[in-house]
Amino acid sequence: MLNILVLCTGNSARSILAEALLNARGDGRIRAFSAGSSPTGTPNPLALETLVANDLPSDGYRSKSWDEFAGPDAPELDAVITVCDSAAAEVCPVGPGAPVRAHWGLPDPADIETVDAARKAFADTFRALDARILALLAALQGSDHVALQSAFDQIKLQDF
Amino acid sequence: MLNILVLCTGNSARSILAEALLNARGDGRIRAFSAGSSPTGTPNPLALETLVANDLPSDGYRSKSWDEFAGPDAPELDAVITVCDSAAAEVCPVGPGAPVRAHWGLPDPADIETVDAARKAFADTFRALDARILALLAALQGSDHVALQSAFDQIKLQDF
């Protein structure tokens, strides 16, 4: 099981969508979490609406501080993905530990005034994240054999 | 989940021990199977006795042909380990598909006349396989991050 933490600033929109998608598409291989450097305290209702519209569970999501993943009882993380918008000069948080790091910059769909435009922005964000996550999983599937071969090669070098 | 098939000639001793150890030590990451190119039809009683002596389940093992893993309904294999003894000029089977392949040559503990000496040979085989399997799992643990990094790197090259 690979533990992946998705970080953004508010942990209310992009990181919630990415957490939901990683868990849904990961098919038991991935356990995803999300957190923010300055959590808003509540998942954006349009994020939950977007999950429902795409037949994904929308229960149990919380907007929470990344501090929850810094303590001794926190899950050991294999990867951290930041989904804040570098182009908008957002401060992207850096998480604890030494996991693999990736930055998937995406504009904030919550940063839009009219509801109709925001709803479309959430749908676009969902699709962009889904495409990346499906590509990541496909790449990971191929990498499994690379990892196995590497592990067997290390064994060969040892003396049993 | 990584599907690993262990092959030897008779599928009654070494490959049964390896199947049991991979499932026990794999901690949910590995699903192991075993088969033989000329199955004896019955697991060696000393193999099952060795499993019991090491607190591993000894139920449900079968000595069976590798043909079971060649059909369209067979599980998709990630790795095949052969555990026959090249030094004794045994014919090592080659399985179907394109999984990662490894050869862990081990003398046949069943090829010993007196029961006491055979019992000791089974215990030695168990320990040798256990050491390799624990080393493989440790190497695989480290390789998970290599696989993740490789998958993220492939994503970066694409245009989303």
Kindly provide the ipTM of the predicted complex, given to two decimals. Answer: 0.82
- The shortest C-alpha distance from A45 to chain B (Å) reads 26
Pairwise pLDDT comparison (B38 vs A122), residue with the higher score: A122
* Cα A99 to Cα B149: distance, rounded to the nearest angstrom: 10
- The shortest C-alpha distance from B40 to chain A (Å) reads 28
Which single residue is written with the structure tokens 């996991």? A99
Chain B stretch 70-129, residues whose beta carbon is closer than 8 A to a beta carbon of chain A? 78-79, 99-100, 102, 128
- What H or E segment, with its residue span, contains residue B133? helix B115-157
Q: Work out the angle between the directed axes of helices A14-25 and A115-157 (0-180°, nearest 10).
A: 50
- The shortest C-alpha distance from B135 to chain A (Å) reads 7
Residue B46 has pLDDT above 80, yes or no: yes
* Cα A7 to Cα A37: distance, rounded to the nearest angstrom: 8
Residue B159 has pLDDT above 70, yes or no: no
Which residues lie below 8 Å from residue B99, measured CB to CB, with a gap of 6+? A145, B5, B77, B78, B79, B80
Q: Is the dihedral of CA A110, A82, A28, A134 positive or negative?
A: positive
Residue A138 lies in domain: 2-156
* Cα A53 to Cα B95: distance, rounded to the nearest angstrom: 46
Comparing C-alpha atoms, which of B25, B29, B24 is closest to residue B134?
Answer: B25
Residue A35 has pLDDT above 90, yes or no: yes
**Residue pLDDT, tens place only, B65-112:** 988 888 778 888 889 999 987 655 665 555 555 788 888 989 999 988
Confidence of residue A39 (pLDDT cuts 50, 70, 90): very high
Residue of B nearest to A153 (CA): B102
Predicted confidence at residue A155, as pLDDT, reads 85
Question: Catalytic residue at A92?
Answer: yes
CATH of the domain at A60: 3.40.50.2300
Residue B52 has pLDDT above 90, yes or no: yes
**Residue pLDDT, tens place only, A85-98:** 765 566 555 555 57
Query: What per-residue string of b and e applies to A63-81 under the rule 16 or more CB within 10 Å gives b?
Result: bbebeebeeeebeebbbbb
Confidence of residue A147 (pLDDT cuts 50, 70, 90): confident
Predicted confidence at residue A73, as pLDDT, reads 82
* Cα B149 to Cα B160: distance, rounded to the nearest angstrom: 18
Residues facing residue A102 across a β-bridge: A81
Q: Of A11-25, A31-45, A62-76, B146-160, which range is least confident?
A: B146-160
Residue A34 has pLDDT above 80, yes or no: yes
* Cα A9 to Cα A50: distance, rounded to the nearest angstrom: 19
Residue of B nearest to A140 (CA): B151
> What does the mean pLDDT of chain B come to?
88
Predicted confidence at residue B91, as pLDDT, reads 59
pTM: 0.70
Q: Is the dihedral of CA A77, A83, A88, A90 positive or negative?
A: negative
Catalytic residues of B: 8, 84, 92
Residues facing residue A100 across a β-bridge: A79
| Residue B146 CB neighbours (<10 A) | 15
CA distances from B49 to B4, B7, B8, B39, B58 (A): 23, 20, 19, 19, 8
* Cα A53 to Cα B5: distance, rounded to the nearest angstrom: 42
Q: Which of B78, B100, B146, B149 to mutate to test the interface with A (most CBs of A within 10 A)?
A: B100
**Residue pLDDT, tens place only, A103-119:** 898 999 988 889 999 99
The verdict on a CB contact (< 8 Å) between B139 and A128 is no
Predicted confidence at residue A140, as pLDDT, reads 87
Residues facing residue B40 across a β-bridge: none
The verdict on a CB contact (< 8 Å) between A146 and B147 is yes
User: What total number of domains does chain A contain?
Assistant: 1
Q: Which amino acid is present at B35?
A: A
